[in-house]
C-alpha cells in the first residue's frame, strides 16, 4: 500500500446527482487517489429518484470505504469534504449531502457544495490540461455549450428540452435494446450505429446556439417502428443527426469566442463518433481538442472533490446550515474565482 500521507492535503468528494453514487479521494495537488462508484440499475425504465436514493443510501458505506482504502488515506487524514449540491434529482442529491455533512462535522473539516456541471468541466480541464476551452458537456441530464467569461462559466447554448444522453437512453428503451451491467445505453447505440449503412432522414433542430432533441427522438422511434429500416440504420442516423447538431453549436461558440481549446466532457463524451466530429472542427479552428478520459467521463466523486478543492483554495466553503441541495442550480449562477485568465 503506498504511503500517501505527506505534506499534501486531501479532499473527499461525494457525487450522488442521479443514478451514480461515487466517492473519491483527491489530493490538493490534483492527484486522483481513488474514484469508487456504484450505479443504480433500474429493473425497468428510467431512473426512479426515490429508488435511486434508496440505492445510494444502501451502498454509501461500501463505496466510501472503498474510496479510503484504494487511496490508502484514513478518514482522519481528510482535510475537506466536497459534495454535489445540484443540479440533479432531489432525493439522490440529499443522500449524498447527508453523508457529506455527517462526515464533515464528525471529522471537523470544512464542507464545500459543488455545482455538478462545474465538476464535469473542471475534471476535464485537470485531466487534459485545458486552460480556457469552449466546453461541450453532454450527459443524461445535461447538454451545455459553455465558455468562461467574466468570472463565470457562461452558457452559450443548451438543449431546449431533453438532454442528448436522455434522448439516446429513451430511444434505446423504446426500441427494446438490451443493456448489460456497466454498459450504458449510449454505448449500445454506438455499437449498433457502427454497423449502420443507410442514412434515414431525421429532423435536424438547431435554433441559434440552442438545440432540441425531442422531435428527433420521436422521429427516430417512428422510423424504427415503421419497419422500413434496420435498428442499425436508425441508430446510425440518430447519432449522425444528433452529433452534427452538437458539433454545429460547438463550432458556433468556438467561432464566436475564438477560444484556443475545445473540451468534451460528461458521460456521452465517451462516444467515439462524437469525439471524431469535434476533433475535426477543433482542427479547422486551430484549437486543441481535449476529451475527458473514459474513467472520468460519467458522474464521479473525483470531479466533485477537485472542483471542491478549487473552490476551497479560492476561499469558498459551505457552512452546514447553507448546505441544502439546489436541484435547479444553473451553471452560470456559480461565481468561479479560481479560474485564472
Partner 1 sequence: MLIKKGAEASLYLETWHNRKVIMKKRLPKKYRIPELDQTIRSQRTAYEPNIIHKAKEAGVPTPTIFMVDVADANIVMEFVEGKQVKEVLDSVSSEERLRLSRLIGRIIGRLHKHGIIHGDLTTSNMILTPHGKVVFVDFGLSERSKELEPKGVDLHLMKRALHSTHHKHAKECFKAVMEGYAEAVGKEKTKKVTAKIREIEKRGRYVAER
Q: Name the residues that contact partner 1, by CB under 8 A.
A: 86-87, 142, 149-150, 154-156, 158-160, 199, 201, 204, 206-210, 240-241, 244, 247-249, 251-256, 276-278, 280-281, 284-285, 326-330
Cα dihedral 101→107→108→113 (10° resolution): -30
Give the whole-angstrom CA distance, residue 296 versus residue 266: 8
In the complex with partner 1, which residue's Cβ is closer, 68 or 243?
243
Query: Shortest approach of partner 1 to residue 214 CB, angstroms?
Result: 13
Give the whole-angstrom CA distance, residue 163 versus residue 147: 19
Give the whole-angstrom CA distance, residue 138 versus residue 117: 10
- Residue owning grid cell 472533490: 305
Query: Shortest approach of partner 1 to residue 174 CB, angstroms?
Result: 22
Q: Where are the beta strands (DSSP E) in 175-260?
A: 206-207, 210-211
SS3 content of the chain, % helix, strand, coil (to 5): 45, 20, 35
CA 31 from chain centre, in angstroms, equals: 19
Helices marked H in 46-115 = 49-71, 90-107
In the complex with partner 1, which residue's Cβ is closer, 174 or 334?
334
In the complex with partner 1, which residue's Cβ is closer, 29 or 284?
284
In the complex with partner 1, which residue's Cβ is closer, 44 or 328?
328
In the complex with partner 1, which residue's Cβ is closer, 31 or 154?
154
Query: Shortest approach of partner 1 to residue 49 CB, angstroms?
Result: 15
In the complex with partner 1, which residue's Cβ is closer, 127 or 147?
147
Query: Shortest approach of partner 1 to residue 198 CB, angstroms?
Result: 9
Query: Shortest approach of partner 1 to residue 60 CB, angstroms?
Result: 25
Handedness of CA 140, 266, 314, 260 (dihedral sign): negative
Give the whole-angstrom CA distance, residue 270 versus residue 14: 22
Query: Shortest approach of partner 1 to residue 276 CB, angstroms?
Result: 8
Amino acid at each position: 500500500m503506498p504511503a500517501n500521507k505527506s505534506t499534501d492535503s486531501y479532499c473527499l468528494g461525494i457525487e450522488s446527482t442521479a443514478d451514480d453514487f461515487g466517492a473519491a479521494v483527491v489530493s490538493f495537488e490534483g492527484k486522483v487517489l481513488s474514484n469508487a462508484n456504484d450505479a443504480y440499475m433500474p429493473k425497468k425504465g428510467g431512473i426512479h429518484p426515490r429508488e435511486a436514493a434508496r440505492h445510494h443510501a444502501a451502498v454509501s458505506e461500501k463505496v466510501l470505504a472503498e474510496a479510503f482504502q484504494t487511496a490508502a488515506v484514513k478518514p482522519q487524514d481528510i482535510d475537506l469534504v466536497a459534495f454535489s449540491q445540484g443540479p440533479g434529482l432531489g432525493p439522490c442529491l440529499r443522500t449524498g449531502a447527508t453523508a457529506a455533512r455527517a462526515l464533515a462535522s464528525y471529522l471537523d473539516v470544512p464542507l464545500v457544495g459543488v455545482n455538478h456541471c462545474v465538476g464535469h468541466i473542471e475534471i476535464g480541464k485537470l485531466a487534459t490540461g485545458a486552460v480556457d476551452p469552449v466546453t461541450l458537456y453532454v450527459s443524461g441530464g445535461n447538454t451545455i455549450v459553455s465558455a468562461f467569461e467574466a468570472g463565470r462559466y457562461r452558457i452559450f447554448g443548451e438543449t431546449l428540452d431533453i438532454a442528448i444522453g436522455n434522448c439516446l437512453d429513451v430511444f434505446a428503451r423504446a426500441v427494446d435494446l438490451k443493456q448489460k451491467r456497466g454498459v450504458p445505453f449510449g454505448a449500445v447505440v454506438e455499437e449498433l450505429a457502427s454497423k449502420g449503412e443507410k442514412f434515414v432522414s431525421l429532423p435536424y433542430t438547431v435554433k441559434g446556439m440552442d438545440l432540441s432533441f425531442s422531435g428527433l427522438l420521436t422521429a427516430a422511434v417512428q422510423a424504427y417502428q415503421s419497419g422500413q429500416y434496420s435498428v442499425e440504420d436508425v441508430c446510425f442516423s440518430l447519432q449522425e443527426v444528433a452529433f452534427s447538431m452538437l458539433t454545429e453549436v460547438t463550432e458556433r461558440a468556438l467561432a464566436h469566442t475564438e477560444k484556443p481549446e475545445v473540451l468534451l466532457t460528461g458521460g456521452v463524451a465517451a462516444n467515439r463518433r462524437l469525439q471524431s466530429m469535434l476533433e475535426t472542427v477543433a482542427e479547422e479552428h486551430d484549437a486543441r481538442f481535449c476529451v475527458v478520459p473514459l474513467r472520468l467521463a460519467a458522474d464521479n466523486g473525483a470531479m466533485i472533490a477537485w472542483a471542491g478543492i478549487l473552490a476551497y483554495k479560492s476561499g469558498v466553503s459551505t457552512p452546514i446550515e447553507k448546505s441544502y441541495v439546489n436541484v435547479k442550480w444553473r451553471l452560470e449562477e456559480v461565481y468561479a474565482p479560481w479560474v485564472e485568465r
